[in-house]
Copies of this chain bind each other. A is one copy, B any other.
Amino acid sequence: MATQESETLPDAYDDLLSRYERATYIGDAAGVLSWDQEVVMPEGGTPARSKQTSALSGARHDVLTSDAFAAALEEAEAADLPDRETAVVREIRREYDRAAKVPKELVERISEETSNALPVWKEAKAEDDWSHFAPKVETLLDLKRQYAEHIDPDADPYEVLFADYEPWLDLEQAEAILEQLRDELVPLIDELNDAGADLAAPFDGTYPEDDQFALAESTLDYLGYPDDHGRLDTAPHPFSSGTQFDARVTTRFDESDPVGAIGSTVHEFGHATYTLGLPREEYGNPLGQNRGLSVHESQSRLWENHVGRSREFYDGYVGIVNEELGTDVSAREAYEAANQLYPDNLIRVEADELTYHMHIILRFEIERDLLSGELAVEDVPQVWNEKMEEYLGVTPDTDGVGCLQDIHWAHGSFGYFPTYSLGSVMAAQLFEAAEDDIDGLHDDIAAGDFDALHEWLTENVHRHGRRYRTNELVREATGEDFSADAFVEYANAKFSDLYGL
């Protein structure tokens, strides 16, 4: 869909772009099938769906790895291209190299097996039975190990898989950030727990799902989510998917916890807003694609935490909550409710901003050991529970609220979790920069006016697509190297204040 001014660009570049775009379109079609499978597909549809997604993976792979594609790529690389187009070719080269090394049969097999694994994970979760899901994990781990081996037989398979989700940060940098988080947050969490605080917990009733759905709709509307380019649905594991033309969100509801639904809705809104901010005229090529999962998560966490869990946000927003839920909660009470620390919480997606990262570190360690073979699949529940006790001081009663809680392994997504922490700390750094650049940002947020923030994010992050590598993008947007410093500072200040340290 590129509308490059291409008169000065070589034909090979145009040819390459049109081939690459075709691959994107097929990949995005697979995204629609995946949305469908998770949101609306009847259970019995799985066998056909697995075949369909597998065929699309194969078709996309065929396009990306054809001789003509390779020839166009080489010719485009040999040409003297402007910076922008050089970046496009760099991104396509990276994707080509990874695709070309993996046999199509394996790509199709992974796709089919992940589609098959999804209902089994659901059953296992409902039955609280890891052993029901374990054979699927075994299969997927094995396939993903093969996949990593094809791409780089000499590398740590975890590192290879991680790069599928975050292409331009090396694992060493990611690990350093996780370590910094652990080192800084563990003592802070201890201190806060010791201090204790009598934060308001005003949502102590039962809030029917219908009311919460209406609240989620109003929330999206309040934040500026466009009706004609998205939709809201319910899914057991909330997610966002789509394109800059159609970026959908899902959310989930717990009748006793409307704060959770608000957080999850604002989070997915952040993802969708990034997607919608990608340039439409570049749809299909790297300039119209998101920069990877760390940056994606920075957008969801920025809205969820730095906007949606801020004191000033509730000034304007609490009225909507009260209207939709029939409550009579003050802005301060709602703010405190949104920022309770729950050290005994078992569920990652319900975690507060601090303990969240302990959940990530746990998963990172387990996945690494699973991939290296150091940890057997059958031992996951035991190790999970031990680590929960060690990092969070709490042990899950069942696999359902323990090692079966996340959908990621059913998707075959090993190596994905660190991007959650990376995105969270990136969010803090970006928000700090936005605060510097936007006069009166906090007043705007209090007034429910998000235009300047939207504009800043579009200008500094969204519109670039994959123009810059991850570290470059952060530097372009903030003037600083990517680090966890802003997050640590933010977390210390916010929670010290809340807990009166």
- A binding-site residues for B, Cβ under 8 Å: 1, 21-22, 25-26, 28-30, 32-33, 36, 40-49, 51-56, 58-59, 62-63, 226-231, 242-246, 248, 280, 283-284
Q: Is the CB of A42 within 8 A of B229?
A: yes
Residue of B nearest to A244 (CB): B48
A245 contact set on B, CB distance < 8 A = 44-49
Q: Is the CB of B231 within 8 A of A40?
A: yes
Cβ contact of A58, chosen from B22, B42, B283, cutoff 8 A:
B22
Cβ contact of A25, chosen from B40, B55, B227, cutoff 8 A:
B55
A284 contact set on B, CB distance < 8 A = 51
Q: Is the CB of A229 within 8 A of B45?
A: yes
Cβ contact of A42, chosen from B26, B44, B230, cutoff 8 A:
B230
How far is A29 from B56 in the complex, measured between Cα atoms in Å?
Answer: 8
Nearest Cβ distance between residue A280 and chain B, in whole angstroms? 7
Report how many copies the assembly holds. Answer: 2
A contact patch SS: helix
How far is A230 from B45 in the complex, measured between Cα atoms in Å?
Answer: 8
Cβ contact of A47, chosen from B40, B47, B228, B283, cutoff 8 A:
B283
Residue of B nearest to A245 (CB): B48
Cβ contact of A55, chosen from B22, B33, B280, cutoff 8 A:
B22
Q: Is the CB of A42 within 8 A of B227?
A: yes
Q: Is the CB of A29 within 8 A of B25?
A: no
How far is A40 from B242 in the complex, measured between Cα atoms in Å?
Answer: 13
Q: A59-B59, A62-B62 are in contact. Are A52 and B40 (CB under 8 A)?
A: no
Q: Is the CB of A226 within 8 A of B44?
A: yes
Cβ contact of A28, chosen from B21, B25, B48, B230, cutoff 8 A:
B48
Cβ contact of A44, chosen from B1, B51, B62, B228, cutoff 8 A:
B228
Q: Is the CB of A45 within 8 A of B246?
A: yes
How far is A28 from B1 in the complex, measured between Cα atoms in Å?
Answer: 24
Q: Is the CB of B42 within 8 A of A246?
A: yes
Residue of B nearest to A28 (CB): B52
Q: Is the CB of A32 within 8 A of B52?
A: yes
A36 contact set on B, CB distance < 8 A = 32, 36
How far is A385 from B43 in the complex, measured between Cα atoms in Å?
Answer: 46
How far is A224 from B230 in the complex, measured between Cα atoms in Å?
Answer: 34
Top 9 closest pairs, chain A to chain B, by CB: A45-B246, A25-B55, A44-B229, A48-B245, A59-B59, A44-B228, A29-B52, A48-B243, A25-B51
A48 contact set on B, CB distance < 8 A = 28, 243-246, 283
How far is A243 from B30 in the complex, measured between Cα atoms in Å?
Answer: 17
Residue of B nearest to A26 (CB): B55
A246 contact set on B, CB distance < 8 A = 41-42, 44-45, 48-49
Known: A21-B51, A28-B48, A42-B229. 18 other contacts (CB 8 A): A25-B55, A25-B56, A26-B56, A32-B32, A32-B52, A33-B33, A36-B36, A41-B246, A43-B228, A44-B228, A44-B245, A44-B246, A47-B280, A47-B283, A48-B244, A48-B246, A48-B283, A49-B246
